[in-house]
């Protein structure tokens, strides 16, 4: 049977009681996932988060989410946190040139920018490209 490999950017949020859990070790050892930490804020006295990409088999990925939730860690797909602010956008098109998944594209014939959040892979290239901060990552 062919295994479906995926790569997802996710945010793990956890309470102070869970800060000591070896989360990354668990993802590697129990679920054979390859975690790549993009950003983290872990304070023993406060709620923390880890922003990371997870690569591996889809079934293992899904099982790991269940396990993390059992530990009291909330998991959110980063794609859901990328926001395009139409009211700020100047329609310059710079983001469409760098978006690898066509989540940001130019709608024709109107030549208007369109954001399809279902296609977004949360690479954040558009955030760097946008001159007016019309795309944000809301953590
Ligand atoms: S985060 Fe990446 S995939 Fe998502 S809209 Fe921006 S450039 Fe496209
Ligand atoms: S780069 Fe920014 S201003 Fe330009 S089209 Fe994209 S979102 Fe709009």
Q: How far is CA 42 from the centre of its chain?
A: 18
Instruction: Say if strands 74-77 and 112-115 run parallel, antiparallel, or are unpaired.
Output: unpaired
d(CA 51, CA 63): 19
Tokens 């983290």 correspond to 40
Q: How far does residue 61's CA lie from ligand 1's centre (Å)?
A: 22
Domains of the chain: 5-72 (3.30.70.260), 80-137 (3.30.70.20)
Do the Cβ atoms of 137 and 25 come closer than 8 Å?
no
Position 2 pLDDT exceeds 90: no
User: What would the pLDDT profile of 13-45 be if each residue is shown by its tens digit?
Assistant: 888 777 777 888 999 999 999 998 888 887 777
Find the residues whose C-beta lies inside 6 A of ligand 1: 82, 98-101, 103-104, 120-126, 135
Q: How far does residue 70's CA lie from ligand 1's centre (Å)?
A: 30
Q: How far does residue 132's CA lie from ligand 2's centre (Å)?
A: 7
Q: What is the token pair recorded at 23? A: 């989360």
Q: What is the token pair recorded at 13? A: 């949020």
Amino acid 95: pLDDT: 96
User: What would the pLDDT profile of 83-130 be if each residue is shown by its tens digit?
Assistant: 999 999 999 999 999 988 899 999 999 899 999 988 887 888 999 999
Among 82, 100, 102, 113, say which to mutate for ligand 1: greatest number of ligand atoms within 8 Å of CB.
82
d(CA 96, CA 115): 10
């Amino acid at each position: 049977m062919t295994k479906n490999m995926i790569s997802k950017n996710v945010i793990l949020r956890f309470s102070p009681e869970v800060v000591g859990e070896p989360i990354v070790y668990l993802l590697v050892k129990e679920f054979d996932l390859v975690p790549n930490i993009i950003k983290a804020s872990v304070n023993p006295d406060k709620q923390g988060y880890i922003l990371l990409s997870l690569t591996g088999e889809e079934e293992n990925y899904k099982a790991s989410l269940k396990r993390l939730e059992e530990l009291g860690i909330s998991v959110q797909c980063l794609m859901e946190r990328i926001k395009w602010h139409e009211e700020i956008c100047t329609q310059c098109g710079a983001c469409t040139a760098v978006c690898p998944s066509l989540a940001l594209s130019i709608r024709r014939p109107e030549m208007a920018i369109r954001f399809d959040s279902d296609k977004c892979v949360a690479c954040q290239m558009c955030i760097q490209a946008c001159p007016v901060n019309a795309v944000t990552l809301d953590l």
